[in-house]
Amino acid sequence: MAGVLETLTVPRASAFPSASFTTVAGASVSRHSSIRFSQFRGLKIQQNRCVASLGSTTKFSRRGSRIVCEAQETAVEVAGVTDATWKSLVLESDSPVLVEFWAPWCGPCKMIHPLIDKLAKQYAGKLNCYKVNTDESPSIATQYKIRSIPTVIIFKNGEKKDAIIGAVPESTLTTSIEKFL
């Protein structure tokens, strides 16, 4: 999943007075410290410091920083569906199924991916969520007349019940999902 924040340059950590410093486990050769931003949940700057021992003196020198997302391990990865798994995962499912039709080159698809992941986590146990890469499974896209991506289709009892085209707000998808639960 591509990140929204590519690069952030911060002149010095003291520019963030409200940030609290927390030590992160590091190797014996280097020590890492991080700054947590209270206004941006889940993001922190991790500063890398190198420790060099020259005789009886120890010298700390900065070697750069990086932005770290603490929530990456909690992200839900929605499974992909292929031509081989379409029937068993979608059409024969006992519960309603939300399927996002997307392609790797599609900008709006990248915008809606985190929303689909969030809904998959929110409706876990009530709704199955899958993604179909239209470049890898064009026959499924053709069968359901997908003309524009992203397109989200909700299936219930193997039948297409609703389709939402484009990168839409969460409320639009939630309203559509609630109709079929």
Please list the active-site residues: 106, 109
CA separation for the pair 97, 58 (Å, rounded): 60
CA separation for the pair 176, 162 (Å, rounded): 7
Long-range contacts of 16-24 (CB under 8 A, 24+ apart): 19/45
Residue 74: Cβ-neighbour burial (10 angstroms; 0-12, 13-18, 19+)? exposed
H or E element in which residue 174 lies: helix 170-178
Which residue bears the tokens 């120890």?
A: 58
CA separation for the pair 156, 173 (Å, rounded): 15
CA separation for the pair 81, 98 (Å, rounded): 11
Q: What is the DSSP letter of 38?
A: T
Which amino acid type is present at position 121? Answer: K
